[in-house]
Amino acid sequence: MLGSGAPLVPRRQYLDLLLVYLRPHRLQAALLTVLLLLTTGLQLLNPQILRYFIDTAVEGGNVRMLLLAAGAFIVVAFIGQVLTVCATYVGEWLGWTATNALRADLAQHCLDLDMSFHNERTPGELIERIDGDVTTLSNFFSRFVILVVGSGLLLIGVLVLLFWEDWRVGLALALFALFALRVLWRLQHIAVPALAEERQATAELFGFLEERLAGIRDLRANGAGAYTMSRYHVHMRTLYRKARRAWMRAEIVWMSTTMLFAIGYALAFGLGALLFRADAITIGTVYLIFHYTELLRRPIEELSSQLQDLQRATAGIGRVESYTIRAAHSRTGGAIPADGTARRRVPARLIRV
Protein backbone atom coordinates (compact mmCIF):
# COMPACT_ATOMS: atom_id res chain seq x y z
CA MET A 1 0.00 0.00 0.00
CA LEU A 2 1.23 3.48 -0.81
CA GLY A 3 3.24 4.88 2.03
CA SER A 4 2.43 2.09 4.41
CA GLY A 5 5.97 1.80 5.60
CA ALA A 6 9.10 3.90 6.03
CA PRO A 7 12.13 2.38 4.36
CA LEU A 8 15.41 3.77 5.48
CA VAL A 9 16.34 6.42 2.94
CA PRO A 10 19.86 6.33 1.45
CA ARG A 11 21.97 9.30 2.51
CA ARG A 12 22.51 10.17 -1.14
CA GLN A 13 18.79 10.82 -1.47
CA TYR A 14 18.92 13.44 1.31
CA LEU A 15 21.61 15.30 -0.64
CA ASP A 16 19.73 15.02 -3.93
CA LEU A 17 16.57 16.42 -2.37
CA LEU A 18 18.46 19.35 -0.86
CA LEU A 19 20.33 20.19 -4.06
CA VAL A 20 17.25 20.04 -6.27
CA TYR A 21 15.05 22.29 -4.13
CA LEU A 22 17.62 24.60 -2.53
CA ARG A 23 19.69 25.36 -5.64
CA PRO A 24 17.31 28.14 -6.79
CA HIS A 25 17.74 29.79 -3.36
CA ARG A 26 21.50 29.38 -2.88
CA LEU A 27 21.99 33.06 -2.00
CA GLN A 28 19.54 32.80 0.89
CA ALA A 29 21.19 29.54 1.97
CA ALA A 30 24.59 31.27 1.92
CA LEU A 31 23.19 34.16 3.99
CA LEU A 32 21.78 31.68 6.51
CA THR A 33 25.19 30.00 6.73
CA VAL A 34 26.93 33.32 7.45
CA LEU A 35 24.38 34.26 10.12
CA LEU A 36 24.78 30.93 11.90
CA LEU A 37 28.59 31.13 11.78
CA LEU A 38 28.53 34.63 13.29
CA THR A 39 26.15 33.44 16.00
CA THR A 40 28.51 30.55 16.79
CA GLY A 41 31.48 32.89 17.11
CA LEU A 42 29.64 35.18 19.51
CA GLN A 43 28.60 32.20 21.65
CA LEU A 44 32.27 31.30 22.06
CA LEU A 45 33.31 34.88 22.84
CA ASN A 46 30.90 35.75 25.65
CA PRO A 47 32.19 33.17 28.20
CA GLN A 48 35.69 34.64 27.83
CA ILE A 49 34.33 38.08 28.72
CA LEU A 50 32.60 36.61 31.78
CA ARG A 51 35.77 34.84 32.90
CA TYR A 52 37.70 38.12 32.66
CA PHE A 53 34.96 39.92 34.63
CA ILE A 54 34.96 37.33 37.45
CA ASP A 55 38.74 37.16 37.80
CA THR A 56 39.05 40.94 37.72
CA ALA A 57 36.33 41.34 40.37
CA VAL A 58 37.89 38.70 42.65
CA GLU A 59 41.29 40.40 42.38
CA GLY A 60 39.78 43.82 43.17
CA GLY A 61 40.48 45.19 39.71
CA ASN A 62 39.65 48.56 38.21
CA VAL A 63 35.93 49.37 38.29
CA ARG A 64 36.16 51.01 34.89
CA MET A 65 37.45 47.76 33.36
CA LEU A 66 34.62 45.85 35.03
CA LEU A 67 32.06 48.24 33.54
CA LEU A 68 33.66 47.91 30.11
CA ALA A 69 33.57 44.11 30.38
CA ALA A 70 29.92 44.18 31.46
CA GLY A 71 29.05 46.50 28.58
CA ALA A 72 30.90 44.28 26.10
CA PHE A 73 29.00 41.25 27.39
CA ILE A 74 25.64 43.00 26.94
CA VAL A 75 26.53 44.22 23.44
CA VAL A 76 27.73 40.80 22.30
CA ALA A 77 24.64 39.11 23.76
CA PHE A 78 22.35 41.64 22.06
CA ILE A 79 24.05 41.22 18.67
CA GLY A 80 23.83 37.46 19.10
CA GLN A 81 20.07 37.65 19.70
CA VAL A 82 19.59 39.89 16.65
CA LEU A 83 21.56 37.45 14.48
CA THR A 84 19.53 34.55 15.87
CA VAL A 85 16.27 36.29 14.93
CA CYS A 86 17.59 37.02 11.44
CA ALA A 87 18.76 33.42 11.00
CA THR A 88 15.35 32.13 12.13
CA TYR A 89 13.55 34.39 9.65
CA VAL A 90 15.77 33.41 6.71
CA GLY A 91 15.59 29.73 7.67
CA GLU A 92 11.79 29.70 7.87
CA TRP A 93 11.48 31.53 4.55
CA LEU A 94 13.87 29.08 2.92
CA GLY A 95 12.09 26.05 4.37
CA TRP A 96 8.60 27.10 3.33
CA THR A 97 9.70 28.22 -0.14
CA ALA A 98 11.43 24.90 -0.82
CA THR A 99 8.62 22.75 0.54
CA ASN A 100 5.99 24.73 -1.37
CA ALA A 101 7.89 23.91 -4.57
CA LEU A 102 7.90 20.24 -3.58
CA ARG A 103 4.15 20.40 -2.83
CA ALA A 104 3.52 21.87 -6.29
CA ASP A 105 5.55 19.13 -7.94
CA LEU A 106 3.76 16.39 -6.01
CA ALA A 107 0.33 17.89 -6.72
CA GLN A 108 1.12 18.09 -10.43
CA HIS A 109 2.42 14.54 -10.33
CA CYS A 110 -0.77 13.24 -8.69
CA LEU A 111 -2.95 15.12 -11.19
CA ASP A 112 -1.14 13.36 -14.03
CA LEU A 113 -1.75 9.87 -12.64
CA ASP A 114 -4.27 7.44 -14.11
CA MET A 115 -7.74 7.09 -12.63
CA SER A 116 -6.82 3.67 -11.23
CA PHE A 117 -4.56 5.43 -8.76
CA HIS A 118 -7.23 7.95 -7.71
CA ASN A 119 -9.84 5.23 -7.34
CA GLU A 120 -7.64 3.67 -4.63
CA ARG A 121 -7.14 6.94 -2.72
CA THR A 122 -9.64 9.38 -1.27
CA PRO A 123 -9.09 13.12 -1.91
CA GLY A 124 -8.69 13.79 1.82
CA GLU A 125 -5.89 11.24 2.09
CA LEU A 126 -4.05 12.71 -0.90
CA ILE A 127 -4.34 16.24 0.50
CA GLU A 128 -2.96 15.14 3.85
CA ARG A 129 -0.10 13.29 2.22
CA ILE A 130 0.90 16.02 -0.19
CA ASP A 131 0.73 18.69 2.50
CA GLY A 132 1.37 16.81 5.75
CA ASP A 133 4.28 14.63 4.66
CA VAL A 134 6.01 17.55 2.96
CA THR A 135 5.55 19.74 6.06
CA THR A 136 7.80 17.32 7.96
CA LEU A 137 10.57 18.27 5.51
CA SER A 138 10.38 22.01 6.23
CA ASN A 139 13.13 21.99 8.87
CA PHE A 140 15.17 19.54 6.80
CA PHE A 141 15.26 22.00 3.90
CA SER A 142 15.71 25.21 5.88
CA ARG A 143 18.07 24.45 8.74
CA PHE A 144 19.09 20.81 9.02
CA VAL A 145 22.43 20.75 7.20
CA ILE A 146 23.41 24.27 8.23
CA LEU A 147 22.49 23.70 11.88
CA VAL A 148 24.31 20.39 11.96
CA VAL A 149 27.42 22.01 10.48
CA GLY A 150 27.06 25.02 12.81
CA SER A 151 26.62 22.76 15.82
CA GLY A 152 29.65 20.78 14.77
CA LEU A 153 31.74 23.95 14.51
CA LEU A 154 30.50 25.13 17.91
CA LEU A 155 31.35 21.73 19.38
CA ILE A 156 34.87 21.81 17.94
CA GLY A 157 35.36 25.42 19.02
CA VAL A 158 34.34 24.66 22.61
CA LEU A 159 36.67 21.65 22.81
CA VAL A 160 39.60 23.60 21.33
CA LEU A 161 39.14 26.38 23.88
CA LEU A 162 38.85 23.85 26.71
CA PHE A 163 42.11 22.21 25.58
CA TRP A 164 43.64 25.69 25.50
CA GLU A 165 42.62 26.28 29.12
CA ASP A 166 43.74 22.88 30.42
CA TRP A 167 44.48 19.73 28.41
CA ARG A 168 43.03 17.47 31.11
CA VAL A 169 39.68 19.23 31.01
CA GLY A 170 39.70 19.30 27.24
CA LEU A 171 40.52 15.60 26.97
CA ALA A 172 37.86 14.55 29.50
CA LEU A 173 35.09 16.57 27.88
CA ALA A 174 36.19 15.57 24.37
CA LEU A 175 35.84 11.90 25.29
CA PHE A 176 32.47 12.66 26.87
CA ALA A 177 31.30 14.49 23.72
CA LEU A 178 32.39 11.60 21.48
CA PHE A 179 30.53 9.14 23.70
CA ALA A 180 27.39 11.30 23.66
CA LEU A 181 27.48 11.68 19.87
CA ARG A 182 28.00 7.95 19.49
CA VAL A 183 24.92 7.22 21.58
CA LEU A 184 22.81 9.72 19.61
CA TRP A 185 24.06 8.33 16.30
CA ARG A 186 22.94 4.85 17.31
CA LEU A 187 19.49 6.22 18.13
CA GLN A 188 18.95 8.24 14.93
CA HIS A 189 16.55 5.76 13.25
CA ILE A 190 14.80 4.41 16.33
CA ALA A 191 11.54 6.27 15.71
CA VAL A 192 11.34 6.23 11.89
CA PRO A 193 8.91 3.26 11.53
CA ALA A 194 6.62 4.58 14.29
CA LEU A 195 6.58 8.09 12.79
CA ALA A 196 5.71 6.69 9.36
CA GLU A 197 2.82 4.73 10.89
CA GLU A 198 1.58 7.92 12.57
CA ARG A 199 1.63 9.76 9.25
CA GLN A 200 -0.23 6.88 7.62
CA ALA A 201 -2.90 6.89 10.35
CA THR A 202 -3.31 10.66 9.94
CA ALA A 203 -3.73 10.30 6.17
CA GLU A 204 -6.33 7.56 6.64
CA LEU A 205 -8.26 9.70 9.14
CA PHE A 206 -8.39 12.69 6.78
CA GLY A 207 -9.39 10.42 3.92
CA PHE A 208 -12.23 9.02 6.02
CA LEU A 209 -13.43 12.50 7.06
CA GLU A 210 -13.39 13.90 3.52
CA GLU A 211 -15.28 10.96 2.08
CA ARG A 212 -17.97 10.99 4.81
CA LEU A 213 -18.42 14.76 4.66
CA ALA A 214 -18.88 14.55 0.90
CA GLY A 215 -21.60 11.92 1.37
CA ILE A 216 -23.21 13.30 4.52
CA ARG A 217 -26.68 13.53 2.94
CA ASP A 218 -26.62 9.88 1.93
CA LEU A 219 -25.43 8.89 5.38
CA ARG A 220 -28.31 10.75 7.04
CA ALA A 221 -30.83 9.38 4.57
CA ASN A 222 -29.76 5.81 5.34
CA GLY A 223 -29.49 6.31 9.09
CA ALA A 224 -25.75 5.55 9.09
CA GLY A 225 -24.78 8.31 11.52
CA ALA A 226 -24.08 6.02 14.47
CA TYR A 227 -22.06 3.62 12.33
CA THR A 228 -20.04 6.49 10.84
CA MET A 229 -19.23 7.85 14.30
CA SER A 230 -18.13 4.40 15.48
CA ARG A 231 -15.75 4.15 12.49
CA TYR A 232 -14.52 7.67 13.26
CA HIS A 233 -13.72 6.62 16.83
CA VAL A 234 -11.82 3.60 15.49
CA HIS A 235 -9.66 5.88 13.31
CA MET A 236 -9.09 8.30 16.18
CA ARG A 237 -8.13 5.49 18.53
CA THR A 238 -5.68 4.11 15.96
CA LEU A 239 -4.14 7.56 15.42
CA TYR A 240 -3.84 8.15 19.17
CA ARG A 241 -2.05 4.86 19.75
CA LYS A 242 0.33 5.31 16.85
CA ALA A 243 1.02 8.97 17.75
CA ARG A 244 1.73 8.04 21.36
CA ARG A 245 4.08 5.27 20.28
CA ALA A 246 5.88 7.60 17.83
CA TRP A 247 6.20 10.34 20.46
CA MET A 248 7.63 7.92 23.03
CA ARG A 249 10.14 6.58 20.51
CA ALA A 250 11.19 10.09 19.43
CA GLU A 251 11.61 11.24 23.06
CA ILE A 252 14.17 8.50 23.70
CA VAL A 253 16.75 10.73 22.03
CA TRP A 254 15.90 13.71 24.26
CA MET A 255 15.90 11.60 27.44
CA SER A 256 19.26 10.11 26.48
CA THR A 257 20.72 13.59 26.02
CA THR A 258 19.45 14.72 29.45
CA MET A 259 20.94 11.68 31.18
CA LEU A 260 24.25 12.07 29.39
CA PHE A 261 24.62 15.69 30.45
CA ALA A 262 23.93 14.91 34.05
CA ILE A 263 27.19 12.98 33.81
CA GLY A 264 28.82 15.83 31.86
CA TYR A 265 27.99 18.47 34.49
CA ALA A 266 29.29 16.24 37.27
CA LEU A 267 32.50 15.76 35.30
CA ALA A 268 32.93 19.51 34.71
CA PHE A 269 32.29 20.45 38.35
CA GLY A 270 34.57 17.70 39.62
CA LEU A 271 37.48 18.65 37.37
CA GLY A 272 36.99 22.37 38.07
CA ALA A 273 37.01 21.80 41.85
CA LEU A 274 40.14 19.60 41.74
CA LEU A 275 42.11 22.00 39.57
CA PHE A 276 41.03 25.03 41.59
CA ARG A 277 42.06 23.40 44.87
CA ALA A 278 45.42 22.62 43.28
CA ASP A 279 45.79 26.33 42.26
CA ALA A 280 46.01 25.25 38.62
CA ILE A 281 43.15 27.52 37.51
CA THR A 282 41.32 30.59 38.77
CA ILE A 283 37.72 30.78 39.94
CA GLY A 284 36.89 32.53 36.67
CA THR A 285 38.27 29.55 34.76
CA VAL A 286 36.12 27.22 36.88
CA TYR A 287 33.11 29.18 35.74
CA LEU A 288 34.46 29.12 32.18
CA ILE A 289 34.68 25.31 32.25
CA PHE A 290 31.10 25.04 33.50
CA HIS A 291 29.85 27.59 30.97
CA TYR A 292 31.60 25.80 28.11
CA THR A 293 30.14 22.51 29.32
CA GLU A 294 26.71 24.15 29.21
CA LEU A 295 27.63 25.50 25.78
CA LEU A 296 28.75 22.02 24.81
CA ARG A 297 25.25 20.84 25.61
CA ARG A 298 23.72 23.17 23.06
CA PRO A 299 25.29 21.68 19.91
CA ILE A 300 24.72 18.13 21.17
CA GLU A 301 21.09 18.95 22.02
CA GLU A 302 20.79 20.65 18.65
CA LEU A 303 22.15 17.55 16.98
CA SER A 304 19.70 15.53 19.08
CA SER A 305 16.81 17.74 17.98
CA GLN A 306 17.90 17.61 14.36
CA LEU A 307 18.14 13.81 14.57
CA GLN A 308 14.52 13.73 15.72
CA ASP A 309 13.55 15.97 12.82
CA LEU A 310 15.64 13.79 10.53
CA GLN A 311 13.59 10.80 11.63
CA ARG A 312 10.42 12.64 10.62
CA ALA A 313 12.07 13.77 7.38
CA THR A 314 13.17 10.19 6.67
CA ALA A 315 9.58 9.02 7.01
CA GLY A 316 8.42 11.92 4.81
CA ILE A 317 11.08 11.37 2.13
CA GLY A 318 10.29 7.66 2.01
CA ARG A 319 6.59 8.36 1.52
CA VAL A 320 7.25 11.11 -1.06
CA GLU A 321 9.50 8.75 -3.00
CA SER A 322 6.78 6.09 -2.91
CA TYR A 323 4.51 8.36 -4.97
CA THR A 324 6.77 8.15 -8.01
CA ILE A 325 7.50 4.46 -7.56
CA ARG A 326 3.80 3.52 -7.20
CA ALA A 327 2.89 5.78 -10.10
CA ALA A 328 5.39 4.01 -12.34
CA HIS A 329 4.04 0.68 -11.09
CA SER A 330 0.44 1.60 -11.93
CA ARG A 331 1.33 2.85 -15.43
CA THR A 332 3.27 -0.27 -16.43
CA GLY A 333 1.05 -2.95 -14.95
CA GLY A 334 3.53 -3.97 -12.25
CA ALA A 335 6.88 -3.58 -14.02
CA ILE A 336 9.05 -0.47 -13.76
CA PRO A 337 11.16 -0.04 -16.93
CA ALA A 338 14.88 0.24 -16.38
CA ASP A 339 15.10 3.31 -18.61
CA GLY A 340 12.75 5.23 -16.35
CA THR A 341 10.24 6.02 -19.10
CA ALA A 342 7.40 5.15 -16.77
CA ARG A 343 8.23 8.27 -14.78
CA ARG A 344 8.36 10.67 -17.71
CA ARG A 345 5.22 12.49 -16.58
CA VAL A 346 6.61 13.11 -13.13
CA PRO A 347 7.79 16.74 -12.72
CA ALA A 348 11.42 17.04 -13.78
CA ARG A 349 12.70 18.15 -10.37
CA LEU A 350 10.95 15.21 -8.68
CA ILE A 351 12.50 12.72 -11.13
CA ARG A 352 15.98 13.94 -10.17
CA VAL A 353 15.27 13.13 -6.55
**pLDDT mean over 75-82:** 92
Collect all residues with Cβ–Cβ distance below 8 Å to 57 and sequence separation of at least 6: 66
**pLDDT mean over 147-162:** 80
Model pTM above 0.75:
no
Collect all residues with Cβ–Cβ distance below 8 Å to 261 and sequence separation of at least 6: 180, 297, 300
Residues 262, 151: Cα–Cα separation, whole Å: 20
**In the chain, at which residue ranges do the beta strands (DSSP E only) sit?**
none
Half-sphere exposure of 238 (CA within 13 A, CB side): 17
Gyration radius of the chain over CA positions = 26
Residues 87, 201: Cα–Cα separation, whole Å: 34
**pLDDT mean over 149-167:** 83
Which domains are assigned to the chain? 11-352 (1.20.1560.10)
Return the amino acid letter for 254: W
Q: Give the pLDDT of residue 352.
A: 46
Q: Using one digit for the tens of pLDDT, what is the confidence trace for 28-72?
A: 888 888 888 888 888 888 888 988 888 888 888 788 888 999 999
Q: Using one digit for the tens of pLDDT, what is the confidence trace for 116-149?
A: 777 777 676 676 667 766 666 666 666 666 667 7
User: pLDDT confidence of 214, banded at 50, 70, 90?
Assistant: confident
Residues 296, 238: Cα–Cα separation, whole Å: 40
Return the higher-pLDDT residue of 191 and 53.
53
- Cα–Cα distances in Å, from 240 out to 49, 231, 235, 236, 272? 49, 14, 9, 6, 47
Give 25's DSSP letter.
Answer: G
Cβ pair 186, 76 in contact under 8 A: no
Q: Give the pLDDT of residue 97.
A: 83
